[in-house]
Amino acid sequence: MSKLWGGRFNSTTNSDLNKLNCSLPVDSRLFAEDIDGSKAYAKILKEAGVLTPTECNDIQKGLELVRYEWIEKLIKLQDTDEDVHTVNERRLIEIIGNVGEKLHTGRSRNDQVITDMKLWMKKAVSEIKLNLKLCMGAQIEIADLNDEVLMPGYTHLQRAQPIKFSHFILSHAFALHEDCLRLVDYEKRSDILPLGSGALAGNPFNIDRNLLATYLGFTKITQNSMHAVGDRDFIVEFIFILNMIGIHLSRLAEDLILYATKEFNFVRISDEYSTGSSLMPQKRNPDSLELVRGLSGKIFASLSGLMMIIKGTPSTYNKDLQMDKSFVFDGFDYLKSSLNVITGVLKTLKINKECMLNCLSSDMLATDLAYYLVRNGTPFRTAHHTVGQVVAYAETLNTDLEKLNMEDLSKIGDFRSDVRKVFDYNASVEQYDVVGGTSSSSIRKQIEYLKEFLKNF
């Protein structure tokens, strides 16, 4: 069979170009979306009087037979097939005859492929949302079960202030919460049908594009055909959101990798998500989390690669855009794997609360000492400087803050006998009873907020 566009050419295409031009190894993934779009387009052609009801019915049945061949892996490809669109059209014509040649009336692969991508991405967003819900659900469950566990909080990887372990794990859940909001916003703004734009000038057969949008589950239609066929912003934005999720998973992975070391020993990653060393028998390596961390880089490569391709393309469709699909498919697959793995790690994670508690030290209550002075009327900057002197003095004695005697403390600042109540880690944590704080009541509100959010997400 000759190529769909071969009528004006007098010689065959160079074999190297044929290989480069063929996108089937990648875009065959769109076979179902391409068939769905074609079935809807056939109905619109019938409404416009281009197809008779019988012809439309024959096309509908023929396309379902093509779908069956794809699903059952019965489809046979030919050298003249360039992409999933040409395969589906060729098989349709082979199954129902010349009436199949009418299906492409007024339609171009330019508006066909971008419609297929939008249909595929609707499903992809739904899958990512489901995986995010599972991952966040695992984080919420950990926070729920460990709401009394204290641990050191860190800035600059240095011990900073006591916090609840639940507060730590929920901080990562709220990062994913932001990604959920991005996906919700993305769904609304990308819900625009490009089909009916033709190659670049539009469709001359008086089709009802709004009805076509309804058939395919879109709420809006594109308003400029030239922009529609060349637009890949929605793909860039989708991969950007995948990147943000990947970055957040990578940061969670890094925290857990650190906390699983012997030096921290705050958590233990299950054997199911650990590997060993080919040389050192004692090793339990967090390869699952390291791979998640690494995959975030590959997702970023998908984003940067696509942006480099589209930055120099002139108006409307250009063949460079054929390469967009490999980037979006790769980014999606990498992220889905990452979400599945990290959710499994979280569900099997063991918490070492005793070790976390033992790593709390009184120097982490230095800020509480400053707040003690503030509550007694000292300006915060003065209190901060005073407690800094207390810390320095304790270091000269090589002792903990709580072991300093009242005589030494009172010489440095306005410390009274009740200052001893400051050295209570639970009291320290509970004072942060503000929305977003690390107190027990605040954490309960965070958990309830996220649970309610996921119910409606």
Catalytic residues: 156, 277
* Residue 147 neighbours by CB distance under 10 Å: 16
CA distances from 166 to 169, 208, 305 (A): 5, 54, 38
Sequence letter at residue 84: V
At residue 140, the 3 state secondary structure works out as helix
Cα 378 from Cα 30, distance rounded (Å):
68
Q: Residue 375 corresponds to which tokens in the numbers above?
A: 């509550």
Which has the closest alpha carbon to 353: 153, 149, 167? 149
Q: Is 322 left (phi over 0), alpha (psi -120 to 50) or beta?
A: alpha
- 15 by Cβ neighbours in 10 Å (0-12 / 13-18 / 19+) ranks as exposed
At a CB cut-off of 8 Å and minimum separation 6, what does 393 contact?
404, 408, 412
Whether the CB-CB separation of 324 and 117 falls below 8 Å is answered with yes
Q: Residue 324 corresponds to which tokens in the numbers above?
A: 């967009």
CA angle 392, 396, 401 (to 5 degrees): 60
At residue 151, the 3 state secondary structure works out as strand
- 176 by Cβ neighbours in 10 Å (0-12 / 13-18 / 19+) ranks as buried
Q: Note the helical H segments in 146-260.
A: 165-189, 209-216, 225-230, 233-259
Whether the CB-CB separation of 64 and 72 falls below 8 Å is answered with no
Q: Residue 3 corresponds to which tokens in the numbers above?
A: 């190529």
CA angle 211, 216, 221 (to 5 degrees): 60
